[in-house]
Structure 1
């Protein structure tokens, strides 16, 4: 494969995907509306086609103009998007859809591509715009991938868990980075052993390329850090990376309630572990970045940015009340 069309490609996963493709000598074209800052605007190695991915005529024109070997769909949020794209790009060597670990419909450890069932998706859910139906819509997109493969289209799906790394506009990890950098005592909800599988963004990017090059049509591939850490271990990793001496303070539901908080107030906390098996992807030759390297790159970019994850802040005053209560116990 020599040419790649990236639908999206300027914000987070897509931005790192373009970097990865360029590093592997692909000719890259971006297709997007141009609504976000484009880090590749002045890069002569990257071509640009402006258009709305929900406009089938615009996608058809891009397909004809670019004639890509591989298509990477970073912004397919509705099943219709996938069905339309797999029709328009039916002749490419690879169409790779970014799905989600949230597409799985049953809690089990680990969630496996060929064993764990997907979420259902009703007609209303397929067009709903709320976060509540995100996983349902991604699952239906995966079913569209299977249907297209059954028609002979070379289409695959990659399912990341929680993605983190440089340029993460969601700011989920930025909250924890900021907490470690700003405070000597960091509250970790529960006993610190809860697990929400995370995936370093550069590894997601390489997974997308490797699946395009080596994956099988109609197949799904989970992607996540090969070494999984608890929430407390993640905070410790941030502190070690930042060379900060931080005390982790556990606060259970009762202690948090005394401060007017709950475990749900903390981003990246999850009661039941969310773990994806990555063996299927690893079998294609994919490898993940050591956590220490991933966190060092993430922290470096965080410190150079203005992101602080404040939208997830449960309130330091409330936390101080909780800390005061715990100090008396």
Structure 2
């Protein structure tokens, strides 16, 4: 099952976003989207990672003006004539390209450290009308609690100086991840006042997901044969397509919606078995499932992504986080089949060596070993 260490490690991969689906194709898919009533001038901090390009494509389709700010390591040539691209480095505090500028909206995608928000506030406070911050459900103090909502208690910082924390210190102590995100939220309110929107996603999936957290399952199911499925199949999981998240962020900006929202999906209870069969409905082919309990997996030190048991784990509540407030604020979800089909199409366009990597889950060889051991203990 996924641990907090996995969340940080894989989250860093998600930010990498090295393989890009065609931006032109994304724009073509949005050709019939109506223009917004009022064009906005939008600043996106980040913008070239996982969800950022979906925000950009949707914002442009809606008729908004877009500026991105990042280190410039992955400038997008595909939107070069449509988007203003500013360079700087929030790690070192180089925000000079933002000075003396005004935007209607700022969307902060990559921040995990409070000093990034503080430094952005020094330059942008008073120069942006609305600040939207992507946080995480890891901010909650008790991840084992079912029915977590936006008013649940947040993790409390246990370090010495939050503003001195860095990526290196956070990697050295993964428990700081949620704590520092929570403090980043607080810093957002301190710097930008009441015009703040906090969005707390769970697992973000779909095309451009470099972590393979969810990709492991449709990829594995497409290969067919006997599939090891953790738990009894009834454990709930929550995922959101990065496109649904990115597009909703733009709609929140258009509506001037403030507040705190859990961006978890879908809008029904999705069990592990339902997800497996949903993937198979897209991939087809002969397949069988073998359910293996948490105790066996823990004993054999086997970690399967996305899944958490509905009891017995400090993260059991991650499958039942309340998304009612977000849905009321306009969050919608595309069908699981669409996410799976588009994800596989994107993944199969990656270089062969990348497809051969296993960034989450287990190898086929390891799966075969585990299945053999399980069947030996539980003969038919």
| Band the TM-score falls in, shorter-chain normalisation | 0.7 to 0.9
Runs of at least 5 residues in structure 1 that lack an aligned partner in the other structure = none
Is the Cα–Cα contact under 8 Å of residues 204 and 224 in structure 1 kept in the other structure? no
Question: Aligned partners of 2:79, 2:252: CA distance in 1, in Å?
Answer: 29
Is the Cα–Cα contact under 8 Å of residues 125 and 137 in structure 1 kept in the other structure? no
Deviation at 1:176, TM superposition (A): 1.6
Find the counterpart in structure 1 of residue 30 from structure 2. none
Could you say what secondary structure the match of 1:64 adopts? Answer: coil
Query: Does 2:341 correspond to 1:296?
Result: yes
Aligned pairs for 1:173-322 within 5 A: 173-217=214-258, 219-225=259-265, 226-253=267-294, 255-256=296-297, 261-262=300-301, 265-271=303-309, 272-274=316-318, 275-306=320-351, 307-308=354-355, 310-322=358-370
Is the Cα–Cα contact under 8 Å of residues 83 and 144 in structure 1 kept in the other structure? yes
Question: Aligned partners of 1:228, 1:28: CA distance in 2, in Å?
Answer: 36
Question: Aligned partners of 2:295, 2:181: CA distance in 1, in Å?
Answer: 36
Query: Does 2:132 correspond to 1:96?
Result: yes
| CA displacement, residues 198-254 of structure 1 (integer Å, 9 cap, x when unaligned) | 11101110222222233554x211112223412222121111111233211111245
Could you say what secondary structure the match of 1:21 adopts? Answer: helix
Residue number among 175, 183, 191 corresponding to 1:140 in the alignment:
183
CA RMSD of aligned residues (A): 2.3
| CA displacement, residues 234-281 of structure 1 (integer Å, 9 cap, x when unaligned) | 121111111233211111245547xx734x511112131412222222
TM-score, normalised on structure 2? 0.77
Could you say what secondary structure the match of 1:61 adopts? Answer: helix
Runs of at least 5 residues in structure 2 that lack an aligned partner in the other structure = 1-38, 310-315
Is the Cα–Cα contact under 8 Å of residues 31 and 50 in structure 1 kept in the other structure? yes
TM-score, normalised on structure 1? 0.88
Query: Does 2:117 correspond to 1:68?
Result: no
Aligned positions, number = 319
Question: Aligned partners of 1:319, 1:55: CA distance in 2, in Å?
Answer: 43
Is the Cα–Cα contact under 8 Å of residues 232 and 248 in structure 1 kept in the other structure? no
